[in-house]
Amino acid sequence: MEHGEMENFNGYVENERYYGGNAGAKLGIVYKGENWFLKFGKTTKGFRNMEISYTTSPLSEYIGSQIYQSIGIPVHETMLGERDGKIVVACKDFRKPGDELIEFKSIKNSYVKGREDVTSGDTYGNGVELSDVLSTIEGNRTLRGIQGAMDRFWDMFVVDAFISNNDRNNGNWGVLLHSDGTKELSPVYDNGNSFANKKSDGQLEKTMQNEEALKDSAYRIVTCTYQKNGKLLNPFSYIKELKNDACMRAVQRIIPKIDMNKIRRIIQDIPEEYCGIPVMSQTRKEYYLLMLQKRYDEVLDPVYQTIQKIYEQKKEFYAKPIQPLVTPKI
């Protein structure tokens, strides 16, 4: 389907697959002979200071996934549509018959002699201390056998910061184990917490009227799931520190692939309504694009330019011929 096209998912047969997660109800269906599942917006009942009844997580899942795809990172297929009078996002089930999805939290929970402090305790596989997560990626035999596992982690770290996905955790990325014993990284999935999916248009308009509030929302007062010494990380602050070479390399890979014109089309092509149901207002489109542009212009691209200079200087240094040692005459 082209960007902006929506599908009527009423009448499609339900399959026998069930899906977990806390972002809202899900319904497995058979769409054109393949397994898909529909994600519904989560009710905001019980949340404080909510001006909307349901989150806009279906929009977030769709836009976040489309941005991942535009950058060239493997991601699950998504479509926007309607079911039972509600806007939903349809996600293709990337598991083929016989496939098993092994979530990273299960990998992290596996016993490794000498690393009991990382794989045990109250959090087990759910622990999100960054050093422990990186240690697992480096040391686990399953992940060691898959090329690019560490690169994928840092690519997601950078892109999730860009789309403000603050819920990447050990339970929503992992490895696909195929029936023949081969394995590969799963496509990126579960991007429903991207963008401001709990804010009303009125709240977005208010933020856009205040430059300081815009910067706070874009990159200054934001956190991700991962922690450093028990404190939630601001991913932009971490990226700007330039202390992790693997993170710096991810910035080098990702930033040149961000095409703001392509992203603008993805968002602008989404209809304002479908079958009389509100989908995405112009206010929300303007806010999302403004946030993305600010993150790119004010943090990510400047960091990328700095990293380019650092590595260019290193290249020039190591390219210089070694001068022979001249022994002074006595």
> Which letter does DSSP use for residue 123 in this model?
S
322 is a domain residue: no
16 is a domain residue: yes
CATH classification of the domain holding 280? 1.10.1070.20
Q: Are 117 and 127 in contact (CB under 8 A)?
A: no
Q: Give SS3 for 195.
A: coil
Q: Are 42 and 23 in contact (CB under 8 A)?
A: yes
pLDDT at 323: 58
Q: Cα(first)–Cα(last) distance of the chain, in Å?
A: 82
pLDDT means per 10 residues in the chain (330 residues)? Answer: 84 91 85 96 63 77 98 98 96 96 93 57 75 93 93 98 96 95 96 91 96 97 95 98 97 98 98 94 97 98 97 76 58
Q: Give SS3 for 153.
A: helix
34 is a domain residue: yes
Q: In whole angstroms, how far apart are CA 220 and each of 4, 89, 319?
A: 32, 30, 39
pLDDT at 120: 44
CA distance 62 to 172: 16
DSSP notation for 3-45: TT-EEE-TTPPB-S-----SSS-EEEEEETTEEEEEEEPPB-T
What token pair was written down for 43? Answer: 């009710």
**AA identity, residue 96:** K
Closest CA to 88 of 145, 27, 134: 27
pLDDT at 211: 97
315 is a domain residue: no
Show Cβ contacts of residue 98 under 8 Å, excluding neighbours closer than 6 positions: 178, 179
64 is a domain residue: yes
Closest CA to 176 of 105, 100, 110, 104: 100
Q: 115 is in which domain, residue-wise?
A: 6-308
Closest CA to 161 of 269, 249, 68: 68
Burial string for 227-236 (b: 16+ CB within 10 Å, else e) reads beeeeebbbb
249 is a domain residue: yes
What token pair was written down for 44? Answer: 């905001």
320 is a domain residue: no
Closest CA to 79 of 70, 91, 94: 91
Count of the separate structural domains present in the chain = 1
324 is a domain residue: no
